[in-house]
């Protein structure tokens, strides 16, 4: 019985942590929602262990713990893929911004040349190669 | 564009740490192609690429960080749209593309939307061996079928784009690995553009090392096939040419 209590406490701590992050605006709701619902699922499973046995039997898994492991892995996989997708769209946005930034800088320079108020170009911020393949 | 007034041509040089070779290339372009606009896209270089280009009096786009050739070229295409150019010619900043070949490539654009300057075995001293050569063969074979014309060098970075291709690429130009060469062709063909090739001779790079080394060849083949496979299965509506962009 102590094992379930441990899971229950862990889930409650996670839940409190998530709320705190949300409250401080450190985490956007769309990312917190998943973890909060996951914590609630763990709380329910910790409070009513019979539920787990029943579900495992339903799924044809003899050891209820294996069901937990399986579901946990599945959830982590989905989260990782979702984060990869989010990063991809962020990179895409960053690329567009970088292009826009370079184009605007060029327009300003030409404008300055034409109006004769030329000033030296500011240095490019933080020039360092990223992990991208350059070719 | 076939007759009448000459098209406005913009030479775009994506440059990533090419301060050493850039002056020679820019001088050659100024010598042989006095009529064209020149744009250096400084792709987040950490050396003096931007300063060198500015001192040559050409237009410069300074990307704040490295985007890869695809990102640099899309910026170039957007510049071309905004400035009303009819033709964009991509030339490598490392000196392996001979600017004297540019007029021949541009000429061919009269009957195609995209023209690839292909490195032929019998022209110049450019040679590739081993798995990389097979990879290029396979890619060329598949893309020839897709494009409906014989292409022998689909990974060449020496290429020209006509007005329709410029409008397409200003919006859709892949920034992924090999996207700038292979996937861009697939996007173009799928959007109804035509591709042609012109044989050109290549030279040794005037500075810098080639970006492909033998032990990377197998990995290159794998990634190239993946990129090609994915872009071939992609839905068509994702890459319809956008309407006119505001200048």
Residue B61 clears pLDDT 60, i.e. is over it: yes
Residue B116 clears pLDDT 80, i.e. is over it: yes
What is the set of domains in chain B, with CATH numbers?
A: 9-239 (3.90.550.10)
Q: Mean pLDDT lowest for which of A14-23, B9-18, B26-35, B191-200? A: A14-23
CB of B50 less than 8 A from some CB of A: yes
Report the chain B residue with the minimal C-alpha distance to residue A104: B61
Secondary structure element (H or E) that encloses residue A69, with its range: helix A64-115
Contacts B230 to A, Cβ<8 Å: none
pLDDT one-digit tens code per residue, A41-61: 888 888 888 888 888 888 888
pLDDT of residue A135: 38
CA distance linking residue B40 with residue B22, whole number of Å:
9
CB pairs under 8 A between A and B: 80
- CB atoms B41 and A125 under 8 Å: no
What rounded mean pLDDT belongs to chain A? 82
Mutate to test the interface with A, among B43, B71, B94, B222 (most CBs of A within 10 A): B71
- CB atoms B46 and A129 under 8 Å: yes
Helix intervals (H) in chain B: 22-32, 49-55, 68-83, 102-108, 130-147, 163-171, 184-190, 217-233
pLDDT of residue A40: 86
CB of A132 less than 8 A from some CB of B: yes
Q: Considering CB atoms only, which of B17, B50, B61 is closest to A103?
A: B61
Beta-sheet pairing, B159-161 with B114-124: antiparallel
Judge contact between B186 and B231, C-beta under 8 A. Answer: yes
Secondary structure element (H or E) that encloses residue A75, with its range: helix A64-115
Residue B87 clears pLDDT 70, i.e. is over it: yes
Which residues, at least 6 apart from B135, have a Cβ–Cβ distance to it below 8 Å? B217, B220, B221, B224, B225
Name the nearest CA neighbour of B153 among B187, B204, B119, B202. B119
CA distance linking residue B59 with residue B38, whole number of Å:
6
pLDDT one-digit tens code per residue, A1-46: 677 788 788 888 888 888 888 888 888 887 788 888 888 888 888 8
User: What 3 state SS string does B113-151 have?
Assistant: CEEEEEEEEEEECCCCCHHHHHHHHHHHHHHHHHHCCCC
Name which residue leads in pLDDT, B240 or B95: B95
């Amino acid at each position: 019985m102590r094992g379930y209590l441990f899971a229950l406490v862990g889930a409650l701590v996670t839940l409190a942590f998530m709320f705190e992050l949300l409250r401080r605006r450190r985490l956007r709701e769309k990312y917190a929602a998943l973890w909060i619902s996951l914590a609630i699922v763990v709380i329910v499973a910790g409070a009513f262990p019979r539920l787990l046995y029943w579900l495992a039997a339903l799924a044809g898994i003899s050891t209820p713990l294996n069901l937990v492991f399986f579901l946990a892995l599945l959830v982590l996989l989905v989260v990782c893929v979702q984060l990869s997708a989010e990063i991809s769209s962020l990179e895409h946005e960053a690329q567009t911004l970088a292009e826009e930034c370079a184009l605007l800088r060029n327009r300003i320079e030409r404008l300055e040349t034409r109006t004769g108020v030329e000033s030296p170009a500011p240095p490019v911020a933080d020039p360092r190669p990223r992990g991208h393949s350059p070719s | 564009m076939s007759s009448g007034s000459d098209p406005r041509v913009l030479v775009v040089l994506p440059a990533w740490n090419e301060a050493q070779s850039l002056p020679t290339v820019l001088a050659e372009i100024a010598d042989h192609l006095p009529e064209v606009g020149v744009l250096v896209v400084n792709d987040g270089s950490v050396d003096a690429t931007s300063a060198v280009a500015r001192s040559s009096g050409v237009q410069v786009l300074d990307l704040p960080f490295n985007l890869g050739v695809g990102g640099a070229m899309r910026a170039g295409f957007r510049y071309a749209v905004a400035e009303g150019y009819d033709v964009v010619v991509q030339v490598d900043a490392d000196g392996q593309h001979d600017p004297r070949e540019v007029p021949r490539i541009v000429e061919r654009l009269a009957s195609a939307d995209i023209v690839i300057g292909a490195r032929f075995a019998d022209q110049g001293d450019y040679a590739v061996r081993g798995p990389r050569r097979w990879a290029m063969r396979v890619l060329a074979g598949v893309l020839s079928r897709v494009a409906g014309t014989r292409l022998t060098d689909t990974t060449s970075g020496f290429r020209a784009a006509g007005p329709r291709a410029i409008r397409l690429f200003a919006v859709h130009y892949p920034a992924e690995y090999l996207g700038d060469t292979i996937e861009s062709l697939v996007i173009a063909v799928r959007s109804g553009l035509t591709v042609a090739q012109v044989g050109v001779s290549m030279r040794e790079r005037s500075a810098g090392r080639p970006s492909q080394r033998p032990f990377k060849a197998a990995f290159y083949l794998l990634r190239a096939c993946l990129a090609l496979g994915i872009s071939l299965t992609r839905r068509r509506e994702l890459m319809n040419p956008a309407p006119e962009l505001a200048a």
